């Protein structure tokens, strides 16, 4: 099993669970929710529910988003 994972990794294949950000249309929905969050129209909890992700995942995404700016 481990050998197969190493072989797949050397070929550039992704191993493991897909990232939340790779979901279809996630980037656009995240930008829309981010605007509403910054305007104070919704809470972080409600934003996480709308994006269908966990609160901690949203917090990590927001932390990396604001560090990048």
pLDDT at 26: 92
pLDDT at 35: 95
Q: How many CB atoms lie within 10 A of CB 58?
A: 21
Tell me the Cα Rg of the chain.
Answer: 16
pLDDT at 18: 84
Q: What are the phi and psi torsion angles at 7 (to 5°)?
A: -60, -45
pTM as predicted:
0.71
The overall average pLDDT reported for the chain is 89
Reported as a single tens digit per residue, the pLDDT across 14-69 is 788 888 888 899 999 999 999 999 999 999 999 999 999 999 999 999 998 878 76
């Amino acid at each position: 099993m481990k050998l197969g994972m190493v072989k797949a990794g050397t070929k550039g294949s992704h191993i493991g669970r897909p990232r939340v950000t790779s979901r279809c249309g996630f980037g656009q929905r995240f930008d829309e929710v981010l605007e509403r969050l910054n305007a104070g129209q919704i809470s972080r909890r409600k934003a996480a529910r709308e994006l269908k992700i966990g609160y901690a995942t949203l917090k990590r995404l927001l932390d990396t988003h604001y560090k990048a700016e």
